[in-house]
Amino acid sequence: MIKKIIGLALLSGALSTVSWAETWNMPTPYGDANMPTKIAYQFAEEIKAKTGGDLSITVHSGASLIKHPEIPRAVQSGQVQLGEVFIGTLGNNHPVFKHDNIPFVATSYEDAHKLWLAAKPEMEKLLDKDGMMLLYVVPWPAQSLYTKFPVSSLADLSNSKMRAYSPSTSRLADLMGTTPTTVQVPDIPQAFSTGIIDSMVTSPSTGANGQAWDYLSHYTSIDAWIPKNMVVVNKRAFQRLDKATQGVILEAAANAEKSGWEGVVEQARMDTQTLIDNGIIVSKPSAQLISELQKIGAIMASEWEAEAPSEVGAILKAYNK
Ligand code: PCA
């Protein structure tokens, strides 16, 4: 009898240890050289340290566990507990996600932050409907134009094949008179060298990480928008945790978001310098190019608002306040 009781006690002790230390999986889309990925590792480390190892998060970077387009669904279904995604890729799910990729709405980091605060309540409502909760966002450096040739006006881009990474950038490519082609980051070098694309709009970081100097020559700093990655958690997974652990996650998320907004300016400067050091011709856009692009931005902004007047209207109203 006594033996049996001891046996049970040991067994339940062992079981409770197992159920206390949890491991969560966190797929991310981009590789380890990117700031959002570095921040994801910090976020995971902070949570592990502050929970004394009760919750440890395994970061699976570079879409190694789940392909980028499938990450939101994996979090929603609970296949993984949390994950990271580039907000703009969800533009076809709901126009609210497009706030992330509309040219010339917010071109400074300060304005991009303001736009984010304006969009956040609408984003949270959408995610909540899908059983997810927003944890934090990380901004990318401002998006600029990379080409295999100099560009002084849109005419120089006619017949160009431009990379697109979201519904909004496909629309942008159309309006610029180019042919949009969707290419994931790891495939950019190959797509340029085989002539599938000859231009793209992305950050100095993505150009520098992909050694853009190997396959293109010009960078025109149009700084057209400042997009973000977001990290979302499955609501049920989060609610199952005790209050203290939930608090640790929210605190680590706030720290992650802060380091992103604080770090992005210096990241942009360093990566632009890397482009210059490797021989890319970095220049400011001509007045003509900027005015042509701004006209396209205005068209895109009004199309965007017309798609969802109440939600997008709410974002723009909060932003312009
Ligand atoms: N790099 C990512 C997203 C935005 C950025 O700067 C990309 O090009 O796909």
Q: Is 227 in the pocket of ligand 1 (CB under 6 A)?
A: yes
Strands (E), the chain: 22-27, 55-60, 82-86, 132-139, 144-147, 161-164, 179-182, 199-202, 218-220, 228-234, 281-283
Q: 140, 182, 188, 216: which to mutate for ligand 1, most atoms within 8 A of CB? A: 140
Torsion of CA 41, 42, 46, 47, to 10 degrees: -30
- Residue 231's pLDDT is 99
Q: Is 140 in the pocket of ligand 1 (CB under 6 A)?
A: yes
Q: 85, 87, 144, 165: which to mutate for ligand 1, most atoms within 8 A of CB? A: 165
- Residue 74's pLDDT is 98
Angle 224-42-129 from CA coordinates, rounded to 5°: 65
What is the third-level CATH fold of 21-141+228-273? D-Maltodextrin-Binding Protein; domain 2 (3.40.190)
- Residue 16's pLDDT is 43
- Residue 1's pLDDT is 46
What is the third-level CATH fold of 144-224+280-319? D-Maltodextrin-Binding Protein; domain 2 (3.40.190)
Equal CATH topology for 21-141+228-273 and 144-224+280-319: yes
- Residue 17's pLDDT is 41
SS3 category, 222: coil
- For ligand 1, atom 6: residue with the closest CA: 203
Q: What's the whole-model pTM score?
A: 0.93
Pairwise CA distance, residues 41 & 28, whole Å: 10
- Residue 15's pLDDT is 46
- Residue 87's pLDDT is 98
- pLDDT, block means (10 residues), the chain with 321 residues: 48 48 96 97 98 98 97 98 98 98 98 98 98 98 98 97 98 98 96 98 98 98 98 98 97 98 98 98 98 98 98 98 93
Pairwise CA distance, residues 83 & 91, whole Å: 18
Q: Is 36 in the pocket of ligand 1 (CB under 6 A)?
A: no
Q: Is 34 in the pocket of ligand 1 (CB under 6 A)?
A: no
Give the sign of the dihedral formed by CA 78, CA 80, CA 81, CA 83.
Answer: negative
Six-digit token pair at 167? 């519904």
- Residue 229's pLDDT is 98
- Residue 19's pLDDT is 53
Annotated domain spans of the chain = 21-141+228-273, 144-224+280-319
- Residue 227's pLDDT is 98
Q: Is 146 in the pocket of ligand 1 (CB under 6 A)?
A: no
CA of 88 to the centre of ligand 1 (A): 10
Strand partners, 219: 146, 282
